[in-house]
Structure 1
Amino acid sequence: MRAFIFPGQGSQAIGMGAALAEASRPAKDVFAEVDEALGQNLFRLMREGPDDKLKLTENAQPAIMAHSIAVLRTLGVDLAGVANFVAGHSLGEYSALCAAGAFDLATTAKLLKLRGQAMQQAVPVGEGAMAALLGADLVLAQKIADAAERGEVCTVANDNDPSQVVISGHKAAIDRAIEMAKDMGAKRAIALPVSAPFHCPLMQPAADAMQDALSYVVVETPAVPLFANVTAQPTTDPDTIRTQLVEQVTGMVRWRESVANMFNAGVHEFVEVGGKVLGPMVKRIAPDAKVTSVVTIEDIEAMAKEIA
């Protein structure tokens, strides 16, 4: 069994998609359709930068999704014929749903633009922060977060793999967690270069905005089940998907559990579409799994031969 997985924020880079668009008409069409849907020249920003503008959440989210879908359409496969499940890390969940036909491309781009803006606006710049705890599992990360809280928000945002957990919340609480992490048993704690504290209760205004936006959107039944971030379980029900996308804004990304549950369900091949971020995490969660990252035209050609 095979799962197609889609990367989240942080996988953006200047030049992303440029060579692909030159080599592939379907990819070029994806970037043009996203530009038209958003009313901005996002693809030029992806190709040329500047980096600080591409990193802005409202640009990075639709850019990463567009790149993943461009790779997938260049691959030119019927997803249901080659994959048993899809999953995505945070915003990658939208890419996965677009790939599986739950949302069309233009709708996905608009939702992610709005999601990025809403997440950025939910907390004033400088009030929130995130940190990666390395050499810490979920139990230890939760202990550190609880100890650092002191009446402020400090909670686990991403359970990425057995050795990397991300916490999120008020900046002062995250600073305290970074200070005490090593003494409590973590190898290292690193402040993340993010502009807002994602996946924590401080994001409630963004969750409200997404609930409103998603209430107007048609969600089709995906061609293959989605392993959802907030439950680490598969679903194909449109109403459930809509609800879980709202919960995902403030909820923990249960990536480690999602991969482990897919592996236990019989998935022994994971294909990361449009990035090389999730593959190493998958290998730490399920060392026996086969992991392939598909980014370049050469990667796509190799994958096309394999699944033909």
Structure 2
Amino acid sequence: MIVTDLHIRVGPHVAEALRTGQPVVALESTIVSHGLPRPDNLRVAREIERAVRATGAVPATIGMIEGALTVGLDDEQLTRLATADGVAKLSVRDLAVAAAAGADGATTVAATSAVAVAAGIGVFATGGLGGVHREAFDESNDLITLARTPITVVCAGVKSILDVGATLERLETLGVTVVGYGTRRFPGFYITDAGFDLDWSVETPEQVAAVMAARRAQGVHGGGLVVANPLPLDEQLDPELHDRTLAEGLEKLRGEGITGKAVTPFLLAHFHAATEGRSLAVNVRIILRNAELAGRIAVAAAA
């Protein structure tokens, strides 16, 4: 391992890629430890890395091992986060405390973005962003972190369990650039169209790379670029099933008094159970498609 001046360990394959100017894609580890059920989580984590490699880019899954932030987990470390109990879910505010405690931890979208940029990585693939929750003021740190972190994030919009309209308003207020990939409609994670228009769209990885280059050249924008990559219509979760499952999940949420960061994993688990695994299959398609697109963008940007 190589330790940077910021006390972030960088795996040898990632360090070599950064040193030689190869394209690199950051990947989160929360999907491995908290987002997918065992044993699917480890298999999918490996598939995500393979999807990035297939584009010619280098995957850099980020996580914490015994208090050490690591950019580019090896397979043993990835297995550890996928199979161990008690892995902490780390946002930006948790990183220093978890490091001091010597904890194992999985990084959220916010933490992955911040660590990736600190390590010199500019492209990040995830499933869906966090945002503003429904019916109560509870806002993900993903939003404020993206407002001040110059990273390109490929995602399928924000999770449809959130208040999508309010989340888009917050992204606008915070100055986060959002473009649709091949669409002027904002995707809703499990569903292709969340019901909101976008001002801008791009059609190719090269166009995304051109936007990234223009932002660097102008030097006036320090925040993130969100590339919203919708599922094709024939790959989305059936919208009627989605709406019914969401309504049932929100009712259970209220009945059990669940709040805060427990809301998202609770609702995702409900979707998995209520749709008999169909939502999980969609979730996997989302992250694999986003990893592939992020790899192509990173290759275009490196060129």
TM-score normalised per structure 2: 0.26
Structure with larger RCO (C-alpha < 8 A, sep 6+): 1
TM-score normalised per structure 1: 0.26
